[in-house]
Amino acid sequence: MVARELLTDSGSIFVQISDENVHRVRVLLDEVFGEKNFVSEIIFKKKSSTTPTDSVNDFILWYCRSREKLKLRQLYVPRRDPGAGSKMTALVNRTGEVRQRSAYADDEIEGLLAAGAEWARVDYPVVSQHPSKTRSEDFWFQGIPRVCGINKQWRFGLEDGMPRLAKAGRLFSGTGRAVGGIMYWADWNYESFSNIWEDIHSENFPIYVVQTSQRAIERCIMMTTDPGDLVLDPTCGSGTTAAVAEQWGRRWITIDTSRVALALARTRLMAARYPYYLLADSPDGREKEQEVSGRIQSLNPSGSDIRQGFVY
């Protein structure tokens, strides 16, 4: 209840718990924060197991102060290899011919890719569920009037959007009078994180009995805060939350009732070394950003605002 009162309107709280009591803690959080302010139940894998009865994961219960004002910063991870469990199951060769992966042997695919073929998704939706009279008319493509379907409309305008896609080679002739969009692997080979984190494991060399993985805490902080925001950890343990917050330019307060925990955290923080970054909103930062990215920076006066981030 104290944590709820301390949260800003856009703030989040993350409570880590094992499978023994996750159901009880969730009921308690529903009571304190309200069911409507439940965001997600994150499952993260801590270890491997050879028996189905051995629990290998913990839960992170994510609640917020106000769902309408929740601050959320979407994080992304590189997609798996195209064609292997992804929606990129087609190959588009240099002449524009589209064929599914299943039509080729593995050695043929290697040769096509070497010759300039690209992985693509050819059923990318170009229609939506909100019908509009001006966007539901037939669209002529490859000499055939294409239909968007009942109670649907084209996602892109018939006068500019759809013709531009056709001219750019981004439309695919489906079965019958259907048409789909073409998205290439190189367009966006990332996907957002789900609530199942299988790439997180326990610390290899923990210094505290219940030390949480640094990667898990880092992900929670990066999803819900900006540089300069304040992070509170009321049960600091070995100080992992404070260390991660310091590394990523967040302000932090950490608390514990144990003198052992405070001594460990203090030693860890005072002995730590952090990479040095330039403020993006500074003359040096803009100069460095232009050097590393090649993008011309603003000539407006800088104000050293930490909330605008850093040059990494």
Compute mean pLDDT per 10 residues along the chain, 312 residues long, and list them. Answer: 95 94 96 96 81 83 96 87 71 80 79 85 83 80 85 86 90 82 84 85 60 86 94 92 93 94 92 87 93 88 88 84
Tell me the β-bridge partners of 14: 62
Domain termination site, one of 240, 256, 271:
271
Q: Are residues 121 and 186 located together in one domain of the fold?
A: yes
Domain termination site, one of 254, 271, 288:
271
Q: Are residues 184 and 246 located together in one domain of the fold?
A: no
CATH code (residue 211): 3.40.50.150
Cβ pair 160, 178 in contact under 8 A: no
Q: Which residues fall within 8 angstroms of residue 32, CB to CB, at 6 or more apart? A: 1, 4
Q: Are residues 120 and 174 located together in one domain of the fold?
A: yes
Give the E-state strand segments of 46-195 in sequence order: 57-64, 76-78, 90-92, 98-100, 118-124, 127-128, 139-141, 144-146, 153-154, 171-173, 179-184, 190-192
Domain of residue 303, residue span: 278-311
Q: Are residues 235 and 288 located together in one domain of the fold?
A: no
Alpha-carbon torsion angle 118, 123, 127, 129, nearest 10: -140
Q: Are residues 104 and 174 located together in one domain of the fold?
A: yes
- Return the percent helix, strand and coil in the chain, to nearest 5: 30, 25, 50
Q: Are residues 222 and 143 located together in one domain of the fold?
A: no
pLDDT at 310: 87
Domain termination site, one of 147, 164, 190:
190
Give whole-number Cα distances, 15 to 61, 62, 64, 212, 235, in Å.
5, 7, 11, 11, 11
Q: Are residues 82 and 184 located together in one domain of the fold?
A: yes
Q: State the Cα–Cα distance between residues 211 and 57, nearest whole angstrom.
A: 14
pLDDT at 257: 94
What predicted TM-score, i.e. pTM, was given to this entire model? 0.73
Tell me the β-bridge partners of 179: 173
Q: Are residues 294 and 165 located together in one domain of the fold?
A: no
Cβ pair 251, 229 in contact under 8 A: yes
pLDDT at 263: 93
Q: Are residues 101 and 168 located together in one domain of the fold?
A: yes
Q: State the Cα–Cα distance between residues 81 and 106, nearest whole angstrom.
A: 14
pLDDT at 53: 76
Q: Are residues 11 and 25 located together in one domain of the fold?
A: yes
Question: Based on the structure, what is the number of domains in the chain?
Answer: 3
202 alpha-carbon distance from chain centroid: 21
Give whole-number Cα distances, 304 to 231, 281, 296, in Å.
21, 5, 19
Q: Are residues 86 and 175 located together in one domain of the fold?
A: yes
Q: Are residues 285 and 136 located together in one domain of the fold?
A: no
